[in-house]
Structures are given as structure tokens and as C-alpha cells.
Amino acid sequence: MSAAITPVSRYVPCAGYELHCMDWSAPGVQDAPVVIAWHGLARTGRDMDALAQFLAGQGFRVICPDTIGRGYSQWSRAPKDEYCLRFYARVARELLDALGIARAHWVGTSMGGAIGTVCASGLFEPSLRGRIATLVLNDNAPQLAETAIERIKAYVGKPPVFDSMAELESFFRTAYKPFGWLSDVEWRKLTETSTRRLDDGRVTPHYDPAIVMQFTEHTDDYRIWPHYDALDLPVLLLRGEASDLVLEATAREMQTCGPGSKGLLEWIEVPGCGHAPALNVPAQYDAVMRCLLRA
């Protein structure tokens, strides 16, 4: 097992906001290939800690951003217009430019996978075309199940509030049970890295409730088949076997178009998970590594 690697916390100006990210790399490694590891809708970049630690130990530099409105990144001043994939692609492009990253692999969970898809297509940000080497879609697809979207709309705009961290951790353990196996230490870390205190001292998940506007104001934002069809790079779909977001029928359709029609798509069903695999166990590390090495 490689020695523990300590990441650097960075704050980068992007699209008029201060974007926070964790920057993981092994000491002394020069010109390491870069992986952008982007989290899901109501989560933070710290969800990628375990994968980033592993990949950094394999010689990669791993950048794990907090999307605007999440974690330590600033909240949008125009949420109706900016909490959407087009703006997130701009943020991603400016992040790569600011860090001097000419080309990178992309691992995205849920929303992070959709951001990776629209970045790699170049349809929103033409200068990103060809700058994404490989794409891992962790329980994300060019079309999401409508019932799951309705479920997301129902809870994201009204994050729960609790008196204690213990109550919030209990909530997270229930809400994110589909992530699969996490140790008690990982559950505590997940809680502590995705919590903010309110003015009255109570605790709530660490995101701007207005991120729900992506669904209420941009109703077709996650129907991104044209972006997927435009991809010409190795793609890995990790689908939680019990996922209610990525249907099997959608995964089969992905095999018939875009990278799927070119033999560039690998589809793996992840046992014991729903939406979305936590990317914290060896089998998932190995699947991601295989995709990265296909570039």
C-alpha cells in the first residue's frame, strides 16, 4: 500500500467565483497525468478522497473541485441562470486554464459525469474539445429516469436541518445507503465534510438550496444525447445495479450510439450499490484505472 498523500487545498478564480478544489499528487512526481474527479449534485469534492488517494499513489495528479454552490466554493449570485450544465462547463474550462492543465482524464459521479460529458463534447466550450482523454461516468447517462428526477427535486431544494451532528450523520447513512459499503470512519468523514452550521447553530448539508433550479428552470438539462453522440474517447459507465437514476434500457441505448457505436464504451454493473457507487473499494479503483489506461 502506498504511503498516505496529503492534498493541497486550493481556491481558484473561475467564471467570476472562487472555486475550491483539493489537489492530490505524490511528492516529487513531475508532469503527472491529471484526473479531474467531479462529485454529484448535492455533494462536495471530498467524496473523491479515497479514489484520489489511490490514483495519486499510482502517479496521477487528481483535482477534486467543489462545484459552485457546494462545499467551500462560492454560491451563485444568479442561480436561475448559472446552476446548469452550460455554466458548469465554463467553470470547468476556466479551472483547467487557471491550473495550466492542457489535457486531463475525467471521473464524474452523477452530475459530475454530466459535466464531464458536456465538457468532452466541446459543444458548450469548444476549446475543451480533445482536452478530455477518457471519461468515467459513475452512475450517469445522457438521459436520467424521470421518477428519480422527481425524487431529487423533492428533496434538494429543502435540505434537512438537525440539532446535532449525530442526527445529521444518521440522515446521511440512510440517504446515501445506495453508495454501497462505507466504514464507520468514512461515514463520519462524509458527514463532517458536507455539513454547515446555520445562524441558530443547527446543522444542514453543505450546499445552496437554490441548486434545485437546475431542475426547475432547466427542465431538459440532463437530456444530453447530442453531447454523448459527439464523444470520440474511451468511456466507462459504472452503473449501480440498483440505480433508479440510470435505467438498464438507457445503458443499452448508450451502446448503440456515440462512443458505444465505436467500441469505446465499457459498461460495468456495480453490485451492492444503487445511486451512486462510492468509488472507495478496490474493484472500483481497478475499473477506473483500466479506463484511464485506455487513452
Q: Cα–Cα distances in Å, from 226 out to 44, 118, 123, 151? A: 27, 9, 9, 25
pLDDT at site 155: 87
pLDDT at site 206: 96
Q: Is the pLDDT of residue 1 over 50?
A: no
Summarize the confidence of residues 63-78 as an average pLDDT. Answer: 98
Beta bridge partners of 138: 109, 238
Summarize the confidence of residues 18-29 as an average pLDDT. Answer: 92
User: Sign of the CA dihedral 65, 66, 69, 75?
Assistant: negative
Q: What pLDDT, in 10s, does the model give residues 33-50?
A: 999 999 999 999 999 999
Summarize the confidence of residues 1-26 as an average pLDDT. Answer: 91
Query: Shortest CA distance to 114 belongs to which of 244, 21, 246?
Result: 246
Residues 6+ apart with CB under 8 A from 209: 156, 157, 158, 159
User: 8-145+221-292 falls under which CATH superfamily?
Assistant: Alpha/Beta hydrolase fold, catalytic domain (3.40.50.1820)
Query: Shortest CA distance to 65 belongs to which of 5, 26, 19?
Result: 19
Angle (CA) 45 92 253, round 5°: 85
Q: Is the pLDDT of residue 295 over 80?
A: yes
**Phi/psi of residue 169, nearest 5 degrees:** -60, -40
For the purposes of burial, counting CB atoms within 10 Å of the CB of 28, is it exposed (0-12), middle (13-18) or buried (19 or more)?
exposed
pLDDT at site 46: 98
Summarize the confidence of residues 75-87 as an average pLDDT. Answer: 98
Q: Is the pLDDT of residue 89 over 60?
A: yes
Are 291 and 136 contacting, i.e. CB atoms less than 8 angstroms apart?
Answer: yes
The pLDDT-based confidence of 4 (bands split at 50, 70, 90) is: confident
Summarize the confidence of residues 127-136 as an average pLDDT. Answer: 98
| E strands, 49-180, in order | 61-65, 104-109, 132-138
Ordered by start, the domain boundaries in the chain are 8-145+221-292
Q: What pLDDT, in 10s, does the model give residues 152-198?
A: 888 899 999 999 999 999 999 999 999 999 999 999 999 999 999 99
Summarize the confidence of residues 201-216 as an average pLDDT. Answer: 97
For the purposes of burial, counting CB atoms within 10 Å of the CB of 57, is it exposed (0-12), middle (13-18) or buried (19 or more)?
middle
| Distance, first Cα to last Cα, the chain | 25
pLDDT at site 145: 96
Q: Is the pLDDT of residue 2 over 70?
A: no
Q: Which amino acid is at 151?
A: R
Q: What pLDDT, in 10s, does the model give residues 279-289?
A: 999 999 999 99
pLDDT at site 3: 66
Q: What pLDDT, in 10s, does the model give residues 225-274?
A: 999 999 999 999 999 999 999 999 999 999 999 999 999 999 999 999 99
DSSP secondary-structure letter at 277?
Answer: -
- What's the CA gap between 30 and 192, in Å, rounded? 32
pLDDT at site 73: 98
**3/136: higher pLDDT:** 136
- What's the CA gap between 37 and 80, in Å, rounded? 25
Give the cell for residue 188: 463520519
The answer to whether the pTM exceeds 0.95 is yes
| E strands, the chain, in order | 8-14, 17-24, 34-38, 61-65, 104-109, 132-138, 195-197, 203-205, 235-240, 265-270
- What's the CA gap between 71 and 84, in Å, rounded? 17
